[in-house]
Amino acid sequence: MSILRHKNQKNNIQDKTTERISKIKKKKKKRANRQILQITYIFVVSFLALIAYIAHFVAVDSKNVITNAHNRRLQSMAEKVVRGKIISSDGKVLAQTLTENGSEIRDYPYGRMFAHVVGYNDKGKSGLESVCNFDLLKSDANLMTQITSSLKGEKSIGDNVYTTLNTKVQKAAYYALQGQKGAVVAMDPETGKIYAMVSKPDYRPAYVKENWTELNTSKNSLLLNRATQGLYPPGSTFKVVTALEYMREHKNTYKNFKYHCTGYTTVGTLKIHCYGGEAHGTVNLEQAIEKSCNCAFVHMSEEINKGKLASLAGDLMYNSKVPINLLANSSRFVLDKKSGTNEMAHTSIGQGQTLITPLENAMVMSAIANDGVVMQPYLVENVKNIDGGVIKETKASKLSEPLEASECETLKKMLRKVVTKGTGTRAYSSHYNVYGKTGSAEYNSAKDSHAWFIGCAERGGKKIVVSVLVEGGDSGGRVAAPIADKVFHAFLD
């Protein structure tokens, strides 16, 4: 019995030992599996992060690397390729490379006229010269042409960039703005093509190197492209946004809006005047826009939700940078739910801290002109080799759809009255349909004002949107509207 008991005890001990060893092995296996899973997880996450980085680089950063002036590959290409031409939509050469006394020079046949949008190619690069640098230095000529050039010891001919710019429209905008500081942008609201982009004061792009010190130290900011980089209070052009928000929040009653204007109004601690202190009398919503009545819009602001107005402004790209391949600044809209009565009143008439570029104001009007659809703005139509073969081309693409078509129709009718009998009559024409909004935007304590006009002209299926900003121009109706009128005529007549 004792021997049998001893055997059983021994077997029990062995079983427990075996069980303990088995548990230890299982724990080690689980630990090993856990470590393998952790390593696998780290590997997968790292791999996905690498893929994400590569995708981001290809989609975004690669363009910056390719077009970077310090890219040695580009410098090497420049030694082997004659830089291509930049050409307007009507076939005129805007930039080309010529040979003088055995040396290559970059020539700009239109001189100052396209200075900011085409840019320069000396002491760095700007404008399209910078954006399209890689395309201009790339030669996609046919094989025989390349072989012939090589046998002759000549450089290959670079590809040519064909733009959306129209010399007739650009010329009209350029001379209409002559002697002023400011900007003009003209575009097709249905495609996003930019027909003209003028910024004043300007410079001679062929002589940037010789005048570099003056260009960089001038108080007039000669190199600044005011069309895309200049930030200005929108003034009364913003009343289009305020009116739209009021219409949205009072769908069934906005047609009954009435306000009696005495030339000034008090809100919070502010005393706000209409332009020149003019008393407009009793006005409805349409007349408030037509006469650009500050007091009526301040009254409207008291019946508008701040958050909803901010949301609409955001939909119209306020606080965003216009997606265009030029140096551009983001507009600014700081109103929110916490903003006070004073700030709301100022914002409703385009004052306060709100700022916008002339290009972005053109896009606001384009949204209305294109039945609520905002198209991606672009300057390059296509790139062709020396034989005329298309290497790549831009296709029109929708950016957003912030407005309803019915809202746009209502706004067009109101803005038509601005031009036929209101503040924008200097943009009126009997030859085509014009609608738009003037603006006088105060920018300092002395109440000096910039002059604005944004509008659209259309005839026979052709449309053009124009945004005009004249620094210190005072009256949008008197100063900016006539400039837009000349651009409209150049395109439609």
User: Is residue 99 included in any domain, yes or no?
Assistant: no
Nearest-angstrom CA–CA distance, 391 and 245: 45
438, β-bridge pairs: 453
Tell me which of 194-198, 265-269, 330-334, 398-402 is least confident: 265-269
User: Is residue 224 included in any domain, yes or no?
Assistant: no
Structural domain that includes position 30:
1-67
Q: Where are the alpha helices (DSSP H) in 152-200?
A: 167-176
Judge contact between 291 and 193, C-beta under 8 A.
Answer: no
What does the pLDDT read at residue 208? 93
What does the pLDDT read at residue 447? 82
User: DSSP for 348-388?
Assistant: HTT-TT-BB-HHHHHHHHHHHHTTTPEEPPBSEEEEE-TTS
Closest CA to 483 of 164, 171, 127: 171
Q: Which helix (H) or strand (E) holds 398?
A: strand 398-400
How far from chain centre, in Å, is Cα 237? 17
pLDDT confidence band for 282 (50 / 70 / 90) = very high
Mean pLDDT, residues 380-386 taken together: 96
Tell me which of 72-76, 180-184, 380-384, 445-449 is least confident: 72-76
User: Is residue 484 included in any domain, yes or no?
Assistant: yes
What does the pLDDT read at residue 446? 79
* Domain total of the chain: 2
User: Is residue 111 included in any domain, yes or no?
Assistant: no
Per residue in 313-340, pLDDT (tens digit) is 999 999 988 999 899 999 999 988 788 8
User: Is residue 102 included in any domain, yes or no?
Assistant: no
**Does the pLDDT at position 269 exceed 90?**
no
Mean pLDDT, residues 458-468 taken together: 97
User: Is residue 152 included in any domain, yes or no?
Assistant: no
Last residue of a domain, one of 30, 45, 67: 67
Judge contact between 109 and 94, C-beta under 8 A.
Answer: yes
Last residue of a domain, one of 51, 67, 83: 67
Tell me which of 246-250, 462-466, 471-475 is least confident: 471-475
Per residue in 6-15, pLDDT (tens digit) is 555 555 656 6
- CATH assignment at residue 379: 3.40.710.10
Judge contact between 324 and 218, C-beta under 8 A.
Answer: no
User: Is residue 190 included in any domain, yes or no?
Assistant: no
What does the pLDDT read at residue 57? 52
User: Is residue 265 included in any domain, yes or no?
Assistant: yes
Per residue in 226-251, pLDDT (tens digit) is 999 999 999 999 999 999 999 999 99
Last residue of a domain, one of 67, 89, 111: 67
Judge contact between 449 and 470, C-beta under 8 A.
Answer: no
